[in-house]
Structure 1
């Protein structure tokens, strides 16, 4: 595996961890409501049973299948890893790492930071192009088809899912609305920023390798030639 691919995989894994950390922060700040997709999953649970986690997996599989049909490509390994790893990281952060804030202002701070961290986590893990998660793959597909900006596509998806979840009986709070309105806007900034940053790191490494792989002079060591 060459250096540039290692850097891309590092961005991908770190991005998933940061994304999961941000999601966990919004969950622990539980006075403000849950994210639109979680509202949707809870609404499905309320109407049809099973579990919230099961509906999350089912929704992910449906979106992956639809995106694969739209792009006429099989899902990348990164998409599968996204579906498997994010849940594990969220459980680790919510159970073992993050405390639940005890004050109203503590909830505000944790929730606000959670949205920012979540959005930048999305930008970091999507930038390498190793396979976006089901929901982010849908976002990118719609962007490519329509030519619309990422923030408008993401906001549109979040608001649509929020309305569907609310109609199904899922819980909606002020935090739910904030995520629906602002997450896509922040991702619209974070994705190009993180892509540019990653490309700079890769290009810097390639220049360094080229410098060190230059042709050796015959008198390189002791000038005896």
Structure 2
């Protein structure tokens, strides 16, 4: 009973549907980490949570990816008083994105100038939005940060934009004070990620739903 109250159930129309959605989830999280690596290498600023992660990494002996994982775990601990339910996607998000980003930073060289770095950041931003659409459409539960936001919205009754602004504004301020990189890329992320996800997510969701219907129809024949 306790596990049922904490864990989101895993549902699927067919076994193949489950396998394909799992593959989509893992691919989306891997691409998300790769996107973060490109944005960090771009050198023109990063998203608020990454300002925090890089600020902590710069003040410690820990790598960026390791700090990203640790921050995700701390955020998940904040779910407990909010009584948020954890999905498989939530756990894999916390564990896979950081190592994927670290691996990308290991093999991706730093750009020689901003004319190379800026397109790298933009590519990373677009890839991140696509990756977000993939793992959300797989429907295995929200990421740690998204779950924190929705939990606070439910508990406080405040509007989503207010809660999101307060969370990311606080994270950005702490990260900046720790020495995390804030720049043009931070502004681009703030204004660009929402519309990009808004473009990718419904299209990926429709494709996923159509694929599920095809699998059900094929099984019924």
Q: TM-score, normalised by structure 2?
A: 0.77
Q: 2:42 aligns with which of 24, 29, 47?
A: 29
- Computed over aligned residues only, the root mean square deviation of the Cα atoms, in angstroms, reads 2.9
Say which SS state the counterpart of residue 112 (structure 2) adopts.
Answer: coil
Task: Give the whole-Å Cα distance in 2 for the aligned partners of 1:29 and 1:9.
Answer: 30
1:180 aligns to what?
A: 190
CA 1:72/1:156 → structure 2, altered by over 3 Å: closer, same or farther?
closer
Instruction: Give the match for residue 138 of structure 1.
Output: 148
Cα distance, 1:94–1:117 mapped onto 2, change above 3 Å: same
**CA offsets, 1:154-212, max 9 Å, x none?**
566434421332244433121122223322332233333322221111112212222xx
Q: Relative to structure 1, is the Cα distance of residues 143 and 206 closer, same or farther in structure 2, using a 3 angstrom cutoff?
A: farther
Q: Which segments of 5 or more consecutive residues in structure 1 lack a partner in the other structure?
A: 214-225
User: Does 1:209 pair with 2:219?
Assistant: yes
Give the secondary-structure state (helix, strand or coil) at the position aligned to 1:51. coil
Q: 3-state DSSP class of the match of 1:34?
A: coil
Query: 1:43·1:168 contact (CA, 8 Å) conserved in 2?
Result: yes
Is the aligned partner of 1:94 residue 2:83?
no
Instruction: Give CA-to-partner distance per residue, 1:92-124, whole Å, 9 cap, x none.
Output: 22223x343334322222111110111111121
1:122 counterpart residue number? 132
Count of residue pairs the alignment pairs up: 206
Unmatched runs of 5 consecutive residues or more in structure 2: 1-13
Distance 1:38 1:52 in 2: 12
Secondary structure at 1:100 match in 2: coil
2:88 aligned residue: 77
